[in-house]
Chain A
Amino acid sequence: MSAPVHVRSRPSPKAAPPPSGRAGGGGWSGRLSRWDIRFSPYLFISPYFLLFALFGLFPMGYTLWVAMHDWELIGSREFTGLENFRLVLTDPQFWNSVYNTAGMFVVATVPQLVMALLLANALNRRMRGQTLLRMGVLAPMVTSIAAVAIVFSQLFSRDFGLVNWVLGWFGVEGLDWAAQRWSAWLAISVMVDWRWTGYNALIYLAAMQSIPRDLYEAAAIDGASRRRQFWTITLPMLRPTIIFTAIISTIGGFQLFTEPLLFGNGDMAGGSLRQFQTVTMYMFENAFTRFDYGYASAVSWLLFLLILLGSLLNFLWLRRVGGGRA
């Protein structure tokens, strides 16, 4: 996952009034000043757009071009139009990876956001050592995915894993976490949630602290319990924030790659029956194991469209909810 960004649309303050060219009356310094005002903005944004064009836009376009070919790393390159897209869309292995990605997204994200909410609610209480607590819940974010995956894969290993050792107390013996779809999804989701729950909790916490306390005090006077306050005040006020975290999780979730890859010891196929192969893994399998770049590029474009679709749905939902509030 890339760092999730919490995006909140906010009525932007008025942009600066037009620079009032008073400094430039004429002559050389005046011309310089006019040029400055005219071209500086472009100069300032150009590094970003230049880099993006080279390393963002060009690769995207090129992927589309490659996707329309039978393009092997070694061997033939033949224009085939939309054939790759047709093949991908009728490929059960592709849809299996979509199913896995969506499934793990749900299994990972729903509990993650619920836990983050509860955690934020708890952190919102007054107590000693607040900063320390907040740092504590944020610490997992510092560890790299590779480190997380190495540690958790050992924790979840069949014969000598700590998790199975604990489960042994309850009579569950030698669970092979990678073998079942549900258990593999669960183990991978635990890795994802461990790393990101604290971060989302802090974002919720920030939003919670912006809720006017009078609301709670008034409710308390009316005799509403804390739980009731949470449901009737906190949750509704947090709705836009929750939706935004959901969107960010969608983008991150659809790109899920490193955790399942390392969980399966680097197996691009994601388990014996591809029970935890994500779309990104499928794309990599086609590119770097089968060396079928055309096919892999088609998969990557379809992934992009899926993310776009998911984000669009979220956005529409947000507009509706957000509109109701403002």
Chain B
Amino acid sequence: MRRPHPRAPRRFRTISSLVTAAALALGAAACGGGGSESSNGTITLTVDTFSTFGYEELFARYEADHPGIKIKHRNVVQLDEYLPRLERWIAAGRGAGDVVALEEGILTKFMAQPDRFVNLLDHGAGSMQGGFLDWKWKQALTRDGKHLVGLGTDVGGLAMCYRTDLFAKAGLPTDREKVGALWRTWDDYIATGRRYTGKVKDAKFVDGAVNLYNSILAQQASQTVGHTYFDTGDKLVAGTNPAVRSAWDTTVKMQQAGLSAGLKSFEPSWGTGLKEARFATIACPSWMLGVIKENAGAQAAGKWDVAAIPGGAGSRGGSFLAVPKQSAHPKEAAELAKFLTGPDSQITAFKARNNLPSSPKALGDPAVTSFRNEYFSDAPVGEIYAGGAKALRPLYLGADNNPVGQRFEDALLALEQGKLAPDAAWRKALADAEREAR
């Protein structure tokens, strides 16, 4: 936020040299750390990602085209684990990869210290501007327009995934067009859930409050005010932002109607719930498709389908690639980042993992628009997601977006656990948000 990381106090340095001396004396040989030492002219670039980026094929291709470059890929699956680690690496000035993935929630935090990252405009990225959705480009650009921190990878276009077998059991239509027509609005969605719950007893309608809430919030906020918990001046406005309140109210209504399986997204029990078909619908940003497939497993192939999301277009999540200043090979790293975020690469990544491109060119490419996902009943996911993506509007997330969001999730969880009434949960979420933003 304020000053950049100052140098460590001198005392610290003295002691550290003592420690080093002691360690050497004790014969603790240093083991090769993660780095980019060049031997015989080969440069190793380390790429840090989380979840799934679908880059395996691209890495192989890049290495083949650039004989002097080797790519080391480090992936941490959980974003919650990736973020603090990355933040420590960046703050410590060492340890980070040469190219690092920044989820949009992390990016906003780092936008406050752009000088910790290489300015990609210095490496000729400026010519790529037309290759990105305008707001995606601007998200990673400092306000003075002079420092580009990251290049966009994907956006999190929204849709609603549902299980056709459970819908059939409930006597609901299973065709994705008709299903989409069932729920133009969130109220329709809840009404459909009521109908469903009247017929099917052994599986709930919605996976849980947390995932639904986050999806509605991203959607409503981008359609209206353009920010969530913090306004563009980084002032906490969670209590007064109508988008937050609306997402909250819809979620509570859903929960009070008894539609929720009460599972928190990405926890092991949520994964098991997917595998055991414990719920019929789940709001699914494009990057969620791969997650659903992996958890639900082969026995659910062809049982899931994708329909339009109630309430219109929205984006949740999406990432960037950046090059930390600490990289020993900023030039080569920037080239790699540019390659990975180019339209063609975005198409490759989309085919691998359904990460929706942030490039209009890629979004309009037949390879994307005509793409069907076999696992999801051969749904034309390219068309479903890409269709809405160009209509997406920017969404501003504050630097403390993640911790504040977690407090809202906690309050919703407490509501689902029957520990708090809706009003009390809302008040608690707001109070805890104040604490996080302090």
Contact = CB atoms under 8 A, between A and B. Distances in A.
A54 B272 contact: no
A81 to B, nearest CB: 18
Contact of A266 (B80, B90, B116, B419): B80
Contacts of B276: 159-160
B267 interface: yes
B88 interface: yes
B1 A75 contact: yes
Overall SS of chain A's interface? loop
B15 to A, nearest CB: 6
Interface string A137-178: 000000000000000011001111000000000000000100
Given A58-B15, A160-B276, A272-B411, A266 B81 contact: yes
A209 to B, nearest CB: 41
Contact of B435 (A76, A77, A93, A273): A93
B5 interface: yes
A226 interface: no
A54 B15 contact: yes
A50 interface: yes
A73 interface: yes
Nearest to A93: B435
Interface in A234-291: 265-266, 269, 272-273, 288-291
B88 A73 contact: yes
Nearest to A179: B417
A179 B268 contact: no
Interface residues of A, number: 29
Overall SS of chain B's interface? helix
A16 interface: no
Interface residues of B, number: 40
A218 interface: no
B267 A73 contact: no
Contacts of B27: none
Contacts of A159: 269, 272-273, 276, 278
A265 B278 CA distance: 20
A269 B406 contact: yes
B113 interface: yes
B2 A76 contact: yes
Interface in B228-274: 262, 267-269, 272-273
Contacts of A269: 406, 410
Contacts of A179: 417-419
Nearest to A62: B12
B307 to A, nearest CB: 26
Nearest to A154: B268
A228 B278 CA distance: 55
B177 to A, nearest CB: 33
Contacts of A180: 417, 419
Contacts of A326: none
A316 interface: no
A132 interface: no
B91 A74 contact: yes
Nearest to B413: A272
B374 to A, nearest CB: 28
Nearest to A158: B269
Interface in B261-313: 262, 267-269, 272-273, 276, 278
B6 interface: yes
B431 to A, nearest CB: 10
Interface in A202-225: none
Contact of A157 (B6, B19, B269, B278): B269
B267 A74 contact: no
A60 to B, nearest CB: 13
B414 interface: yes
A158 B268 CA distance: 11
A223 to B, nearest CB: 56
B84 interface: yes
Nearest to A288: B84
Given A75-B3, A291-B91, 17 more contacts: A51-B22, A58-B15, A73-B91, A74-B1, A74-B90, A74-B113, A75-B1, A153-B268, A159-B276, A180-B419, A265-B267, A272-B413, A272-B417, A272-B419, A273-B414, A289-B84, A289-B403
Interface of A: 50-51, 54, 58, 72-77, 93, 153-154, 157-160, 176, 179-180, 265-266, 269, 272-273, 288-291
10 contacts: A74-B87, A75-B2, A75-B5, A93-B435, A153-B268, A157-B272, A159-B278, A269-B406, A272-B414, A291-B87
**9 A-B pairs closest in CB distance:** A179-B417, A272-B413, A272-B414, A73-B91, A272-B410, A74-B91, A75-B1, A288-B84, A76-B2
